[in-house]
Chains A and B, each alone.
Chain A
Amino acid sequence: MSLLNDLTQSGRLWSASDWRMARIHAAPSGYAALDAELPGGGWPLGAVTEILYARPGQGELRLLLPYLATLSQEDRRWQAWFNPPYRPHAPGLAHWGLDLSRLLLCQAPRQDDLLWSLERCLSTGGCQAIIAWVDRLDNAHMRRLQLAAESNRLPVFLLRPERWRDRASIAALRLQVCAEQADQVQLHILKRRAGWPLSNLPVTIPLQPDGACHHG
């Protein structure tokens, strides 16, 4: 019975009638429409979140930035970005309020280096969050990442190409981003803890953060 309680509390086991009651550690994403649908009311902490997108510029990074910016200002540890497909543009990131001095940009072209580094980021306690652009990732490795993230209560965001959509994945949360307009996206929640999948969730993701419109 206690196992059942444990599983229910951590959101792995949920009943359809009270799914919103599951206690999952999460942090607000900065987008109210999305938070309402995410278990725990935001990005899960201590879990792998997979974001699938077709091409850069669809809002896949803007979706994360409000949360990452807040985190970078509150936490003195590194925010590790792995293998971005293009060079991150410092003025643009600063515009979103990201504290650039916390940002650690890593290139790990070899797969074993990447996995080693990700695990080290999670286990040494010197890191606040991980954002990694990855393509292939087999389930065994994903599972190791998920376990490491869980035991260290750190969020891991994997940005992956859309074609991995139909593959099974161990990630706790899977989202697919489909842009409709420059600042309008349809999110498909492919998998979430304590909840059913959900398609076509419209979210407004502006090209610049809300507060900055007047200066921009």
Chain B
Amino acid sequence: MAETRLWLYIDFTRLALQCQFGTRDSAIPQLLLNARSGIEQCNSAAEALGVRPGMNTATAYCLLTEAETALYDALAEREQLQRLALLLYQACADIRLCPPSGLSLEIGSMMRLYQGLDTLINTLRDRLEHSGFHYRWACGHTAQTAQVLAINDQPLISSDRKQLIGALDPIAVTRLGIDAKDAVRLQAMGLHRYAELRQLPRAELGYRFGPALLQQLSALETPDTLGHRFEIPPHFDERIELSHEAEHSASLLFPVKRLLTNLEDYLRARQSLADSLYLRLTHRNQPATRLRIQAVQGSRSAQEWLSLINLQLERLVLSAPVLTLQLKARRFRADPAPNGDLLGTAYPDADADRLLSLLVSRLGHHRVHTLATTPDPRPEHATRLTPAVDRTGRTESSRPRFQPLLIPDTEQPVVPQQYQLLSGPERIVMGQWAQPAPYRRDYFRAWHPHHQQAVWLARHDNGHWSLAGFFG
């Protein structure tokens, strides 16, 4: 079976409206107003009372006793279209964005994967129903045909070529997407349907109407793509404007959850995990509060991220009410192949990684470290503390020395006569290349009989003595 090109056009009829008010059907009429004080979109409750898109706002208000209104936001609408494309991206590879509210999918090439149109359509339908957005769709043998059919509410789902070509015939010339002036002239000539237009010789039409009409007609008939191809954005960056000012960090959890659900979709489409998230809370008059949330070994699940964010939020005291939330993820890691044991349980370090994520979220990055030895012979530089989340994971060579277990951060001067020296001097010298001030010290293991402490003493070049460590 040779692959034939087949297109599916999905038009989200109330995209901007649902973007503002949420996807749940409301019994209260909802109106989306555009800048020219007309109705851009309205919900079914408003339509039932006679409101139509394009109507004047004043007229609409006369029809309604109560209404929720919001202003049309083109940016939010475009972002939502991207999100919907992302949602479908897991089912279909070639998606094209047709702003403001359409998606054009090339599904002919996906047929072999899904073994038939029905399976693919069902997959897409499940995803769309789950998103809650109103939509109408149609197939077409060209992208343009699919679009015309979808917009004219002809939900034709078929891969039969003859049926697809014939479906366009009853469409009125005014609804074909051709220039309005041309359509009026065609109607004046007695040509009302596409079927009648199709039979006319093209050269004559071109002579009378100019090349623009011919181009539009040929676009309906020849496979051509629509709009820009959708690509997964390289980073995740989304924000939510809160409908009210949030004064307590606990009330941020719900909007954060929405962002995390979107993040989960994004990560699933990318087939990767995020290992750190940045949450930015903006206030009215103060600099924004930033939080960094880290999951060791990365995570995708919204639930897991939520519990980590919750740990930080419950300790966060907001200095001012929060207006917007912004969630960013920039670093991703590949989804680890399931390399667990035969029983299919998680990989063995999962518990240790989860514990680390929890500790880091609660205590902060700067309070959880791993230790390593360094080649530096100076005791105060011989230990390297690395924030545990940044550890590389490779095993480092350890350099054991017969030295104390604990080292004070500052050197305390001591009186050597109070100690019994247990060992002869161990001299540590650093060249001038390492540090400008000469470094030469003699170290002694010593015992303080009165305090009963086993310690390490350092004799400096200038004759002073200091306490350099404890033998724990």
Interface of A with B (CB < 8 Å)?
Answer: 54-62, 65, 76-78, 80, 84-97, 100-101, 103-108, 113, 116-117, 120-121, 124-127, 178-183, 207-208, 212, 216
Contact = CB atoms under 8 A, between A and B. Distances in A.
B367 A107 contact: yes
Given A57-B453, A120-B358, A180-B452, A90 B371 contact: yes
A171 B379 CA distance: 36
A92 B406 CA distance: 8
B406 A179 contact: no
A78 B422 contact: no
A72 to B, nearest CB: 11
Interface residues of B, number: 53
B258 interface: no
Contacts, number: 187
Q: Please provide the 10 A-B residue pairs with the shortest distance between their CB atoms, ordered closest to farther.
A: A61-B472, A126-B355, A57-B453, A57-B470, A91-B401, A126-B351, A86-B406, A94-B400, A126-B352, A90-B383
Given A58-B453, A91-B382, 14 more contacts: A54-B451, A57-B453, A57-B454, A65-B472, A86-B470, A91-B373, A92-B405, A94-B400, A97-B400, A101-B370, A104-B388, A108-B363, A121-B355, A208-B402
A95 to B, nearest CB: 4
B311 to A, nearest CB: 9
Interface of B: 348-349, 351-356, 358-359, 362-363, 367-374, 379, 382-385, 388, 395-396, 398-409, 422, 445, 447-448, 451-455, 469-472
Given A58-B452, A95-B403, A100 B372 contact: yes
Given A58-B454, A88-B383, A92-B401, A100 B371 contact: yes
Contacts of A113: 362-363
A178 B453 CA distance: 10
Contact of A182 (B354, B379, B422): B422
Contacts of A85: 406
27 contacts: A54-B452, A56-B470, A57-B453, A58-B453, A65-B405, A77-B351, A86-B406, A86-B469, A88-B407, A91-B373, A91-B398, A93-B405, A95-B400, A96-B405, A100-B373, A100-B398, A104-B370, A105-B370, A107-B363, A108-B367, A120-B355, A125-B351, A127-B355, A180-B452, A182-B471, A183-B454, A208-B402
